[in-house]
């Protein structure tokens, strides 16, 4: 859901890194996670992660906030905003952006603060046009890199541009991934105005999945207003797994309400 070339140029200009993207097999070894820290983190997690909390979306007005294409230069600020309000979201990350996040600080923080990570491919191509081998690479290598950096295995994915077919679904199933689309599109990549983004996102009803991008500064700026509106309406921002009350089923497609 973005203009690929423009977004890439903006990311480079914004300081996401002038270093070339490094293939995971060629990347420098990541600093190991302290075993005791990892053990405590995993102990608090549901089977398959993310971290559990008592949320019953059968009785609450839950809305799943999702952010694509990161981690990027504004992800840290977004995490600050969510932590201050004790809110959680799902981050659909790109493998190449995780590789560019030296030390994996952002993706580790996403996990540590109870958010959910999802696979958004390695480099954001339309998956439907790829041969089987390249399609497999896009999902598998992103999964492997994130697991190596964070110690957790992603269970959900979002196909770039929402482009999917039976081959994409089948590959997602093989990788243990459920396919997550959306019911509310903020079009934040096209209309980078915080007030517009917040207004579109705040139209979400209970059960909705909201699509946004944490690589846009204006989207992060829209989040405080969005959270205020959702709170006034009695809505609770949740992760994808919390919205459905369980880890979504691999190979199944979820679109929200």
Mean pLDDT, range 193-220, rounded to an integer? 97
pTM of the model: 0.81
pLDDT digits (tens, 9 = 90+) for 9-60: 333 333 333 233 322 332 333 344 454 554 454 444 434 455 567 889 999 9
pLDDT digits (tens, 9 = 90+) for 110-119: 999 999 999 9
105 in catalytic set: no
Select from 1.10.10.10, 2.30.40.10, 3.90.79.10, 3.20.20.370 the CATH code of 47-187+204-215+230-254.
3.20.20.370
103 compared with 167, residue with greater pLDDT: 167
**Model pLDDT, residue 53:** 78
Mean pLDDT, range 114-128, rounded to an integer? 97
**Model pLDDT, residue 18:** 28
Q: Which of 68, 69, 101, 188 is catalytic?
A: 68
Q: Residue 165: CB partners within 8 Å, gap ≥ 6?
A: 128
In the predicted model, is pLDDT for residue 98 greater than 80? Answer: yes
- Asked if 162 and 135 touch (Cβ cutoff 8 Å), the reply is no
Whole-number Cα distances in Å, 8 to 96, 125, 126, 190, 215: 11, 13, 15, 14, 10
68 in catalytic set: yes
Residue 76 token pair? 């840290």
Q: Which of 115, 124, 213, 216 is catalytic?
A: 213
- Asked if 41 and 115 touch (Cβ cutoff 8 Å), the reply is no
- Asked if 255 and 209 touch (Cβ cutoff 8 Å), the reply is yes
Residue 11 token pair? 């990311």
In the predicted model, is pLDDT for residue 121 greater than 60? Answer: yes
């Amino acid at each position: 859901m973005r203009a690929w070339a423009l977004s890439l140029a903006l990311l480079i200009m914004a300081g996401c890194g002038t270093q070339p993207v490094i293939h995971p097999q060629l990347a420098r070894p990541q600093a190991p996670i302290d075993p005791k820290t990892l053990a405590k983190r995993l102990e608090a997690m549901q089977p398959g992660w993310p971290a559990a909390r008592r949320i019953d979306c059968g009785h609450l007005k839950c809305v799943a906030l999702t952010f694509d294409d990161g981690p990027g230069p504004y992800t840290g600020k977004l995490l600050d905003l969510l932590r201050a309000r004790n809110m959680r979201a799902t981050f659909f990350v790109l493998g190449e952006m995780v590789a560019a996040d030296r030390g994996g600080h952002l993706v580790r923080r996403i996990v540590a603060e109870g958010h959910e990570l999802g696979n958004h491919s390695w480099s954001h191509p339309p998956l439907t046009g790829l041969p089987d081998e390249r399609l497999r690479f896009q999902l598998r290598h992103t999964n492997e890199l994130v697991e190596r950096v964070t110690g957790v295995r992603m269970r959900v994915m979002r196909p770039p541009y929402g482009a999917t077919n039976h081959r994409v679904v089948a590959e997602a199933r093989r990788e243990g991934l459920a396919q997550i689309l959306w019911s509310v599109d903020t079009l934040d990549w096209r209309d980078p105005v915080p007030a517009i983004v917040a207004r579109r996102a705040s139209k979400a009803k209970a059960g909705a999945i909201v699509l946004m991008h944490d690589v846009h500064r204006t989207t992060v700026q829209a989040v405080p207003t969005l959270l205020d509106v959702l709170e006034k309406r009695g809505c609770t921002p949740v992760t994808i797994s919390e919205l459905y009350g369980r880890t979504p089923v691999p190979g199944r497609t979820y679109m929200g309400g």
